[in-house]
Chains A and B, each alone.
Chain A
Amino acid sequence: MSAALVILGVGSPFGDDRAGWSAAALLAASPLVANSAGQIEVRTLDRPGTLLLAEFGKSNGVMLIDAMRSGALPGTILRLEAEGVCAARSLLSSHGLGVAQSLGLARQLGGLPAQFVFFGLEVGHDYSGMNLSPAVSAALPQLVTQVIRQAMAWGFARADAAGCAAS
């Protein structure tokens, strides 16, 4: 059965678009998940589109991590609640249409999870490497820490879980 908190990393295998997957991999290997007794699940998705709606219905809390392009400095982390994602029309993650519209649709249909937060990680501008750019790679530990703190704030993790972010 589904966990109470689901952390979704959205992305693809290439370049900075991996950001969501890389963050998910770090989180999956962290004590946050290991010590959660199955309460926290980390998953990766590849351009889910409307399939994202099905993910929302399975748990009370959802955190979604995706690469984004908002014009901020590469490596910038943006935290938005559901209202913010729906309102930020000009904010395009690399899967922007899917995430923003799916959230809007879920909200319209009453299918938003009780707790929802979006973490966007700004990709390198004009970066076209196969792996993560240095700026995005350097920002990952901080992103992981923020996700863990959010899980703690929602009551899903013990205080000592935050220390795992850098490991």
Chain B
Amino acid sequence: MTEEREIRIEVPVMARVEGEASLSIRTHAGRIEALKLRIFEPPRLFEKFLEGRDWFEVPDMVARICGICPVAYQMSAVQALEALFDVDPGPWVRAQRRALYCGEWLQSHSLHIHLLAAPDFLGFANVVETAQQHPEVVRRGLALQALGNDLIRLYGGRSVHPVGVRVGGFHRAPAMAEVSALRTRLDAALPDVEALVAWTAALPLPQDEQDFTSVALRHPTDYPLNEGRLVSDRGLDIACADFEQHFFERQVQGSTALYCYLDGQPYLAGPLARLNLNLDRLPPAVRSVLERTGIRFPSRNMFHSIVARAVEMLLALHEAIRLLADYQMPTKPYVDVAPRAGVAFGCSEAPRGLLWHRYEFNAAGGVQRARIVPPTSQNQARIEQDLHQSLSAYGLAHSDTELKLRAETVIRNYDPCISCATHFLDLRRE
């Protein structure tokens, strides 16, 4: 029997947030003949906006690129600029930046687990339906998201597009009383996040082992957020400054977004890749909770990403508690910075994966050029590869509705920046 059909899935995105994506699948004789994920993000004019701006404007400008992970953009940027300007902000700033980043991981991961991913695995259309059956789980998730937001607010003044970060440190050091109050809440949340890890591991996740390359930062001692070398499970081990020698972005016909490849191949960035590569960097308390789930990592099942996210929430919580426990008021929350000409590189681990920045500065500290490679661009080719494998393994004999849901689930599993609108996925069969 010859079966020929075309499925088109449109992923329009919330107005003014990210852009839109569509998925086209064409099958013939029971096989996928063509599959294309198109992400229509707004042109990344930020890189052009940055040209001609002063070095000290960069952290606040790049924070505006994303409403969910503004801290990641700030962290990659200040790291790049401080490396070029030969500035060491010292241990206090490094510790507080890590704590701030933990806040972003907490809020972003909790948002994704509860509002975007979990309904797929539980068979609900959205989080409102999830809340009907599991109100305590959703309530807990929202509280953890709020806790992460409050940790960002502690350092950044507000949780969306925080303004506390500057090149050389922070504009303001949180008061002891603020830190102490938040620490009490972080401590109290530990049982909740441990329960969340177990809850995600008990979800009816599809079994779908795939072959893929994991890429993440790796630090000599810590689970990576702000620092480390770029490594893969296929032998890559390079400094962030050497990114361009191995990673290439390509324009793909029909898509305004760039596809990023590692040595010509798709690769995975994000929580599962980080966990696969950094199991030995988890604190023992986190490791033991992970082991109790019975799920073995490194994992080749992409759907274990939701478990990896929950584990990273626990890691972030433990790290924030540790860092805030040692908190002391600094004499000054930043070091002075003098710009210089040259090329700056920075890379950090945004909640959804690697975020790489490159800047060229003149002697006065003016931005000459900027290049930003966000995680969604890096995962785009992998998502296509995953869709191809997942849908084939799932079986094309399924109905359009079932195929559409599985495709949505696969896409959402990566927590792409377009994920906020994927509930609007609309399937048209021609």
Residues of A within 8 A of B15 (CB): 94-95
Q: A58 on the interface (CB 8 Å rule)?
A: no
Which among A49, A54, A101 is the interface contact of B128 at CB below 8 angstroms? Answer: A101
Question: CA A101 – CA B111 in complex, angstroms?
Answer: 14
**Which one of A14, A17, A46, A105 lies within 8 Å of B131 (CB-CB)?**
A105
CB distance from B163 to the nearest CB of A (A): 14
Chain A residues lying within 8 Å of B250, measured Cβ to Cβ, are none
- Asked if B127 and A105 make an inter-chain contact with CB atoms under 8 angstroms apart, the answer reads yes
Residues on A with beta carbons closer than 8 Å to the beta carbon of B135: 108-110
Interchain CB contact under 8 A, A108 and B132: yes
Q: Determine if A101 and B126 form an interchain contact, defined as CB atoms under 8 angstroms apart.
A: yes
In angstroms, Cα B139 to Cα A17, docked, is 30
A53 within 8 A of B: yes
Chain A, residues 16-39, CB within 8 Å of chain B (1/0): the string is: 010000000000000000000000
A115 smallest CB distance to B (angstroms): 21
Within 8 A of A (CB), among B127-151: 127-128, 131-132, 135, 138-139, 142, 145-146, 149
**Cross-chain contact of B160 among A46, A94, A108, A110 (Cβ < 8 A):** A46
- Chain B residues with CB under 8 A of A47: 14, 16-17, 67
**Which residue from chain B places its CB closest to the CB of A107 in the assembled complex?**
B128
Contacts of A14 in B (CB 8 A): 16
A51 at the interface (CB under 8 A from B): yes
Residues of chain B within 8 A of A98, CB atoms compared: 14
Beyond A12-B16, A51-B159, A94-B15, whether A108 also contacts B420 by CB under 8 A is no
Assess whether B423 is interfacial by the CB under 8 Å rule.
Answer: yes
- Interface hits, B96-153 → A, CB 8 Å: 111, 115, 126-128, 131-132, 135, 138-139, 142, 145-146, 149
B165, CB-defined interface residue at 8 Å: no
Q: How far is the CA of A145 from the CA of B128 in the complex (A)?
A: 33
Kindly report which residue of chain A lies nearest to residue B159, judged by CB atoms: A51
Q: Is the CB of A97 within 8 A of B423?
A: yes
Q: Are B149 and A51 in contact (CB under 8 A)?
A: yes
Task: Determine if A50 and B142 form an interchain contact, defined as CB atoms under 8 angstroms apart.
Answer: yes
Assembly CA distance A12 to B15 (angstroms)? 11
A52 → chain B, closest Cβ, in Å?
Answer: 11
Measured CB to CB, the closest approach of chain A to B11, in angstroms, equals 13
- CB atoms of A97 and B145 under 8 A apart: no
Among residues 44 to 82 in chain A, which have CB atoms less than 8 Å away from a CB atom of chain B? 46-47, 49-51, 53-54
Minimum Cβ distance to chain B for residue A133 (Å): 16
User: Which 5 interchain pairs have the tightest Cβ spacing?
Assistant: A108-B131, A104-B128, A94-B15, A105-B128, A109-B135
Give chain A's interface residues, CB within 8 Å of chain B.
12, 14, 17, 46-47, 49-51, 53-54, 94-95, 97-98, 101, 104-105, 108-110
Can you identify 27 A-B contacts, CB atoms within 8 angstroms? A12-B16, A14-B16, A17-B16, A46-B160, A47-B14, A47-B16, A47-B17, A49-B420, A50-B142, A50-B145, A51-B159, A51-B160, A94-B16, A95-B14, A95-B15, A97-B14, A97-B423, A101-B126, A104-B128, A105-B127, A105-B128, A105-B138, A108-B131, A108-B132, A108-B135, A109-B131, A109-B139
